[in-house]
Structure 1
């Protein structure tokens, strides 16, 4: 194999921006009101983002983590309740619930799709379970058919962690058409970004109105006398972020279309490499924005995986070690942890343990590259894995 250097690969930069963002920022500046209560940019972004996702009620907030925390609070999560989350996810999924005083119960994921296992969810439900939180890993929607049935049978609410899944669809339905609340992130690496930011979509007006109160310190929109009705915090998005996100949204659909063309090709090429197993795609997830190009290094230990990631970076690929299983993080055990040991959780989440050791992901900007670059990516991965 040729020893390709970084000069052979020039991927699009991220974040992407052009005069649309500049013009929108100037418009937000010149309106003279820079917070959402007096301005129009956040209101318009909420309308446009909601329309794109098939949601009639959308609330923009400060971060994706705050989106989860706010949504959980609206769903009644607090002390004495439990929230089921996948053991393989970014730790915000668990910390948002733990900061509300709830106990987080990690469950296993599917080794092919990396998404939460419905069977594991069903086995974890107790009379204290308040919310099931599927994470749409790398942009692929979790098995919402099975999860919706579990939720209906148990009376437990679903909150979709859609931080990776802007524009995703499940059996032709957009996320806002799936009947449950969902939280999005606009952090710097996400599929659309204002550096930070988040949003919650709601299935009905009543939940939305409670969300609005709680995201604005419990204060109604028109209040002039500090009549704070419920507990909450200041999760309000500013007008400049709203203006940036309106521009980002305008190019999202085209980017998804390109990534959906490149993603299957790269996965096929990676699957031809001995020891490399790409993330499986559930055909029911019929629009996958592909936030990450993910794969496993089958049989690798964590040290070897990390060394391979370092070598991929040296060769010009924006490669990353995948999430550590949440129960393998010290932070998970500080508050709101189950009455179990680390090893007990690990024993019942073997797939999450495997992914925590073996999984690698490539930044989604790689999938905005030319078709030829997918072949070069696979060649570099094959060379680095063979040398390791």
Structure 2
């Protein structure tokens, strides 16, 4: 195949315009730059909760803190276990481990790359305090099976929705499942203020506890330093919230574009010999597509990494997949299960393959034109064919 080596010019990320500038001016001029005195964080929390169908939202410093706070209000701590997918960014496990809990990795579905509900069920013990599905690349995990597992076992769900702003499963938004969910606004995410996070809650009680714990145990109305719980300072500032309000306002339109482009690019990638794109369960009826993920089954990790380097040289914002969390040294520092790497690998055969053979493209590629989707596929085919 004779493919031009001219670099592809995709839309930039992050995206911003006068709306963010006006929001920053608004936050600046109000004269109060932290959440206890200003109005931007409170307004953003209300808008974000409404958008996701949640009763309440709490804005925090980042997505990792969002997960940690979500787990803490559900009682996760020393002597407990949290079930997490073995294939995820390591914050999913570290949030539990930082609280003194044991993170228990389980395998994933080979198509959607989300947690395997059957594997999660087999991992439940009397110590299990939470099950954490990750909505991988924006695809909602099988919430039908997971909600049933939660109801049958009595173990609550904590959704890691860092990739899933605006996602839906059978018409239900992330905040409508009756479980706590954690989001990230890190620089590469679907909406961003550089850093930031949020936790959505279905009920007032857990929201109020989370508020205390994210603000050093101090109620919003406190003037006498009566710290009612232990906690830390996870408060979001007014400038970040102002930017996120503008980002949220354009999110739906961006998802609409990615939903139009993703089926085209998925088909084109699947037409390439040796390439298998992340599949989609039809019950996930709105996928915001944080990543365009595809596998090259049988490829070695070394060759996959060379392929990623070549794609980057050709202008594609390409990345190697997350490592299996149990193959990261940080996983073993604290809160690891009493199993060896080899034992965990034997329990997670899909993860073992996926972390070595998977590539992902940043979601800004899906904001490009139809012509660019064909160009992406041409480049991938050319690079795969040359390895």
The TM-score normalised by the length of structure 1 is 0.99
Which residue is 1:2 aligned to? 2
Distance in 1, Cα, partners of 2:232 & 2:2: 55
Q: Measure, in 2, the Cα distance between the counterparts of 1:53 and 1:126.
A: 31
Structure 1 CA distance for aligned equivalents of residues 147 and 199 of structure 2: 19
Look up the match of 2:295.
Answer: 296
Distance in 2, Cα, partners of 1:28 & 1:125: 46
The equivalent of 1:172 in structure 2 is: 171
Match of 2:182 in 1: 183
Per-residue Cα deviation, 1:255-305 (whole angstroms, up to 9, x for no partner)? 000000000100000000010000010100000000000000110010010
Specify the alignment match of 1:90 in structure 2. Answer: 89
Superposed CA deviations along residues 228-263 of structure 1, whole A, max 9, x for unmatched, are: 111110000000000000000010000000000000
The yes-or-no answer on 1:283 pairing with 2:282 is yes
Pairwise CA distance, 1:387 = 0.3
- Deviation string 1:35-72 (CA, Å, 9 cap, x unpaired) is 00000000000011111111120000000000000000
1:182-215 CA distance string (max 9 Å, x none) = 0000000000000000000001000100010000
Q: State how 1:67-86 maps to structure 2 within 5 Å.
A: 67-86=66-85
- 1:3 deviates by 3.1
Query: In structure 2, what is the equivalent of residue 150 of structure 1?
Result: 149
Counterparts of 2:346 and 2:355, CA distance in 1: 14
- Name the counterpart of 1:117: 116
Deviations 1:117-154 (A, max 9, x none): 00000000000000000000000000000000111011
**TM-score normalised over the length of structure 2:** 0.99
Q: Which residue of 1 aligns with 2:159?
A: 160
Instruction: Specify every segment of 5 or more residues in structure 2 that has no aligned partner in the other structure, as ranges.
Output: none
1:182 and 1:202 in contact (8 A); partners too: yes
- Tell me if the contact between 2:3 and 2:378 (Cα under 8 Å) persists in the aligned partners: no
Alpha-carbon distance in 2 for matches of 1:318, 1:214 = 38
User: Would you say the 8 A contact 2:70–2:180 is kept in 1?
Assistant: yes
Contact 1:169 1:285 in 2 (8 A): yes
Match of 1:229 in 2: 228
8 Å contact from structure 1 (residues 4, 315) kept in 2: no
SS at match of 1:105: strand
> Which residue in 1 is equivalent to 2:253?
254
Matches of 2:129 and 2:29, distance apart in 1: 45
Q: In 2, Cα distance between the equivalents of 1:306 and 1:183?
A: 30
Partner of 1:136: 135
User: 1:57-91 CA deviation, whole Å, 9 max, x = no partner?
Assistant: 00000000000000000000000000000000000
SS where residue 182 of structure 1 aligns?
strand
Tell me which residue corresponds to 2:238. 239
> 1:381 maps to which residue?
380
Match of 1:157, SS state, is coil
Aligned-pair distance for 1:6? 4.1
SS state at 1:226 partner: coil
> Aligned residue for 2:322?
323
Other-structure match for 2:15: 16
Paired residues in the alignment total 387
Residues 97-108 of structure 1 aligned to structure 2 (within 5 Å): 97-108=96-107
Tell me the distance in 2 between the aligned counterparts of 1:250 and 1:195: 17
SS for the counterpart of 1:300 is: coil
Return the alpha-carbon distance in structure 1 between the equivalents of residues 71 and 90 of structure 2. Answer: 15
Alpha-carbon displacement from aligned partner over 1:290-325 (angstroms, at most 9, x marks no partner): 000000011001001000000000111000000000
**Are 2:36 and 1:37 aligned?**
yes
Structure 1 residues 28-67: aligned runs within 5 Å: 28-67=27-66
- CA distance in 2 between counterparts of 1:56 and 1:240 reads 24
Misfit runs of 4+, over 4 Å: none
Rounded to whole Å, the distance in 1 between the matches of 2:290 and 2:263 is 13
* Mapped contact 1:325–1:352 kept (Cα < 8 A): yes
